[in-house]
Structure 1
Amino acid sequence: MSGLNASLGYFLAIVGVSAVGRVLVTRWRPRWTFLTELIAAFALSACRLEVDTIAEVGQWAGALGPDVAITMLFISITVHGIIMQGVSGNPSVTLMGLLQKDTGAVAAVLSVAAQLLGAYVALLVAGKYWQMELTDMHMIKNLMMSECSTSLKVPPLQGVFAEALGALTFHLVYLVLKNRSQLLRIPIFSVLLTLISYAGNNYTSGYVNPSLAYAMTFTCPGHTFLAYSLVYWLGPLMGESLMFFNAKKILK
């Protein structure tokens, strides 16, 4: 259980820092919304990187089965939804707001840039954490850092459609529940994103979030940067566009 305890400590640290960071930004720089997007992307990516560690090597080095990884994924998404209410950390959601004219062009560009930066910082922080080698699981993960396994396990074209389907599903539910209470939205989104990730495990891992995908797999060998960009940017944008242009028909 030492591996799980170390992971729980890591999760608590990430959540605590992110929650405090958001409070400080909201209080002192309320107009700098792009900073909250940076914090949200950082928290989401940092937690997902550790969940991926549990899924990859937990059962071999920490006696942690796939059920633990799924449970931790659900919990991390739920906690993220609670502490980051109103902030997505997802470029595709930001771009959807731009298409719906809920977000200005300048604000959207700043938010997307901040989200990517947050994912990059999460990758650095997770790497430093793994280098501490607190458990056998993290020691193995540290050794695997330079040769991480790609999340894209299918040809790029198939990956584009897989991400598009996941994004379409997510954004449809997001649109339907947009005006509902957070008490209803958060658990539904958490279950949905967990299911999308589980269903896409053998395809693209179902990130439906370009900044998250950047942290998780863009630095891994196996595909070119262009292939990753097509799958994890074009895929979600396709799904989002299908939802957006058919939204009126769906909601009738």
Structure 2
Amino acid sequence: MRATLRYVLLTALRDRLFAVLATLATGLFVAAWVLGSATLVEHEAASIVLAAGALRALIVLGLVVFICFHVQRLFDSREIEALLARPMRRGQFVLAYWLAGAAVACLLAVIPIAGLFLLSPPSLAGLAVWSASLILESLLVVALALTISLAMGSAVAATLATLAVYALGREIGFLLAITGSQSGALQSSGAAAAWSDTLLQGLALLVARLDMFGQSAWLLYGPAGGIGDYWFAAQAVVYTGLLLVLASVDLRRRRF
């Protein structure tokens, strides 16, 4: 696993992943500060919220692109066949590459955390919870990108599919809130609407509620202290484990 970790980190350095994302994060940080200063009220709060959302999206996008294209490189060079020909279980291979991707994710997470710390958010406890949720979300995204890219074998298709699942996870809470507020209208509007509501409820069980991660309100007001604010940790553990198991099972069924 050490060799895999070293190889992935060297690949990230060779691809200038850290340098490019640090440069883009600096630009987004400055843009968020300028846009926040242009608001009529709550200038600092607006800057913090804009910076938090933009930097989180940048880290997720960078991780997805890097993981998907790195796996594609393994397929193109047939290096994956050489690795799987060694006395290594498929689960060990998946775990080794997830740990390597997790190390890259933790290093990248330092960029937005340090940027937000410079903005001095009102709640340091909220910043700590937000930072922990960002790291767990990044680890979940690494597992998602690794699983999809190993299954599809195409960097572009895997990138788009991963981003689509991520966007669905981010919006599933909003969709559930809409259907919940209109439950009576849906029941009286016919079978089609009822089936769509049932489908959405079932989909919510399969997709992680990513809207619970990285809430900007934590940075301003701190965590509320209830179990709902920390539900993201359980989701990260469960869904990351399920994705790694799914990737291992998929590799066992394939022949190289």
Return the TM-score normalized by structure 2: 0.39
> Highest Rg: 1 or 2?
2
Give the helix-richer structure, 1 or 2. Answer: 2
Return the TM-score normalized by structure 1: 0.40
